[in-house]
Amino acid sequence: MYWYQKKGNEKDVVVSTRVRLARNLADYPFEGRLTPAKAEEIIRKVTSLFEKEAGYEIRNMADLSHLQALSLCERHYISPEFAEKSTPRALITQNERDTALMVCEEDHLRIQCIKNGLAIEDAYVGATEIDDLLDEHLEYAYDEKLGYLTHCPTNLGTAMRVSVMMFLPAITMAGQIEPLKLQLQKIGLAVRGLYGEGSDASGCLYQISNQVTLGITEEGTLKKVREIVSQIAEQERRLRQSVQGAAFYKLIDRASRAEGVFRHARLLSSEEFLKLYADLRLGLSLEENGHLTYEMLDSLLFEAMPATVSIGTKSEEGTQDLPEEYKRDLARARTVAAALA
């Protein structure tokens, strides 16, 4: 079972929580000077630690197609940069614990734990379990003053990023996203889109994460992100509750229409899917829908992304000569309709 198919807390506002740790090995150069031979050496050292551990799956990224790599990125197991690299690299996952380890990304090791809903402490525990296992057998690049040494200086210190993906349609519609970004920037937090830095906030989805890793403890970072996310969630819920009268029924109508399109569309583009997803998810928070759950909608969010839906696409009679975009849109519509049937 994938992380996004599991039950989550505070799902009306929070889609997921991720804790990521960056680590480098002491006796190897950083990425810019890391040769393919040395990268392969790191991969062998790291993967050997997990070969006999229960539940771990080891993938050599060279054995995956570009489409398979993009699908892993869409489901937040790897970063966009990791998906596009051509140098030696490996991925180690443990689905039961919702953990993933990228070997030879920007840093030698990128450890992450991603949980459904709001689960900052659980995600931290999951990531540190992998970190502790690695630390027992490998020597990290570490400095008493600077903390963990990383390829990018902005990660020095704890080298920990805590990221909470939030669904914020009411704040978006109220025109308060830009002021929120400015406020958070002043206290060392960033607001990014669905796939991190440089991505769009499609579907009213935003990632709230810490920017500061030097001069603050891991516990301090967890506490800070937890408090800010709670405040944002309270603001979002308050704005939703303030919607009354005609405005309320317009939003409920939009949700009903979105559900109708999801059930009956023959073609569904990524852009249209995300818009309808946002309408339907907001409607679910305003009025109970016996057919739907947040977990169902968020599973669709990841399963209907372009690469993921393309992997499961089967050619139908009469569609062989269609452009790939249309095949994807056909497959997406079928995937969504089947989930809601």
SS3 assignment, position 262: helix
Tell whether 57 and 166 lie within a shared domain.
yes
Q: Is 1 domain-assigned?
A: no
Tell whether 38 and 109 lie within a shared domain.
yes
| Cα–Cα distance, 328 to 322 (Å, whole number) | 10
Q: Is 266 domain-assigned?
A: yes
Tell whether 58 and 199 lie within a shared domain.
yes
Place of tokens 């405005």: 247
Tell whether 118 and 192 lie within a shared domain.
yes
Q: pLDDT value at position 68?
A: 96
Number of folded domains that form the chain = 2
pLDDT tens readout for residues 313-340? 665 655 667 788 888 999 999 999 999 9
Last residue of a domain, one of 178, 211, 240: 240
Give percent above pLDDT 90 in the chain: 88
Q: Is 30 domain-assigned?
A: yes
Nearest to 246, CA basis, from 237, 238, 254: 254
Q: Is 3 domain-assigned?
A: no
Triad 12, 13, 19: Cα angle to 5°: 125
Tell whether 59 and 190 lie within a shared domain.
yes
Tell whether 277 and 233 lie within a shared domain.
no
Q: Check if the beta carbon of residue 255 is closer than 8 Å to that of residue 284.
A: yes
Q: Is 216 domain-assigned?
A: yes
Q: Is 317 domain-assigned?
A: yes
Tell whether 133 and 27 lie within a shared domain.
yes
Structural domain of residue 16, as residue ranges?
9-240
Tell whether 187 and 317 lie within a shared domain.
no
Q: Check if the beta carbon of residue 15 is closer than 8 Å to that of residue 285.
A: no
Q: Is 4 domain-assigned?
A: no
CATH number at residue 165: 3.30.590.10
- pTM for this model (two decimals): 0.94
Residues in the chain: 341
The residue that leads in pLDDT, 170 or 289, is: 170
Tell whether 175 and 265 lie within a shared domain.
no
Tell whether 254 and 177 lie within a shared domain.
no
pLDDT at 214 over 60: yes
Q: Is 75 domain-assigned?
A: yes
Nearest to 229, CA basis, from 170, 180, 169: 180
- If pLDDT is split at 50, 70 and 90, which confidence band does 256 have? very high
